[in-house]
């Protein structure tokens, strides 16, 4: 490590002391590295020194009692109900591509295939992270838009290729729609309502927050989002509390 050699005059890994590691972490912090970057570098150092001890190249691990820095707790961006309504109501649907885009609000559906759509039962079988399957309910306008797309628009898009793919959502060339394309579509729709750099994750966060505000059970939201741990879903309770706090101080500026 260049820091240890130039700043601490330590030239062998087996001679590194706890104070040297602490100084290295402090140096990163003083140079204003992000907590996530410091955490990654310290994690690498911890793994390396564990290896040295395990293989007999060092007697002790100088990083063992150095804690990893805590990442700052940040809340995801969330659109208001009015903004989401404006976004969805403003989506045109005069051609196959626009009809497809109007359906993308249903869920994260890039990997959705035709045999995973159940209209009568009112749900989709979605594959999430780690190929975990979850059931996502859909109804109302989402069902209407999906039927219109599958009956009127998808056949035209699928006709562009010799060997059709099973994907529900196709690009203009008849292939499976990519995540990058969804990002571009979402960002363009956001610009139409004055929201810059709108990301699909923002819509996902907004969906969960609005469900919670409407009284939905946290466990139900966890299932729909595909979170393996309820603590991940609980971040939306913090969002709701933060919004209530903002509204309180806006209404009572002298409180």
Averaged pLDDT, 144-170: 84
pLDDT at 225 over 50: yes
Does residue 189 or residue 73 have the better pLDDT?
A: 189
Averaged pLDDT, 1-23: 88
pLDDT band at 112; cut points 50, 70, 90? confident
Query: In the chain, what percentage of residues exceed pLDDT 70?
Result: 72
Please report the pLDDT score of residue 197 as a whole number: 80
Residue numbers annotated as active site: 105, 129, 201, 204, 227, 236
Q: How many helices (H) and strands (E) does the chain have?
A: 12, 3
C-alpha torsion angle, residues 42, 44, 45, 51 (rounded to 10): 150
Does residue 169 or residue 82 have the better pLDDT?
A: 169
pLDDT at 180 over 50: yes
**In what helix (H) or strand (E) does residue 95 lie, and over which residues does it extend?**
none
pLDDT at 174 over 90: no
């Amino acid at each position: 490590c260049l820091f240890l050699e130039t700043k601490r005059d330590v030239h062998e890994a087996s001679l590194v002391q706890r104070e040297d590691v602490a100084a290295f972490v402090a140096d990163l912090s003083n140079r204003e590295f992000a907590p996530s970057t410091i955490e990654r570098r310290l994690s690498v150092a911890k793994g390396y020194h564990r290896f040295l001890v395990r293989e007999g190249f060092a007697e002790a691990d100088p990083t063992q009692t150095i804690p990893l820095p805590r990442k700052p707790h940040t809340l995801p961006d969330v659109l208001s109900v009015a903004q989401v309504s404006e976004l969805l109501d403003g989506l045109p649907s005069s051609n196959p591509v626009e009809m497809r885009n109007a359906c993308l609000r249903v869920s994260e559906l890039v990997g959705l295939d035709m045999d995973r759509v159940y209209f009568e039962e009112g749900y989709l079988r979605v594959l999430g992270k780690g190929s975990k399957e979850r059931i996502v309910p859909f109804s109302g306008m989402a069902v209407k838009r999906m039927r219109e797309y599958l009956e009127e628009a998808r056949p035209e898009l699928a006709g562009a290729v010799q060997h059709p793919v099973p994907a529900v959502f196709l690009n203009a060339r008849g292939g499976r729609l990519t995540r990058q394309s969804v990002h571009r579509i979402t960002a363009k729709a956001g610009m139409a309502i004055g929201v810059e750099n709108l990301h699909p994750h923002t819509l996902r966060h907004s969906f969960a927050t609005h469900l919670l505000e409407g009284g939905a059970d946290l466990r139900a939201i966890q299932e729909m989002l595909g979170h393996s741990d309820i603590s991940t879903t609980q971040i939306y309770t913090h969002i709701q509390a933060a919004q209530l706090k903002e509204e309180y101080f806006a209404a009572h500026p002298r409180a």
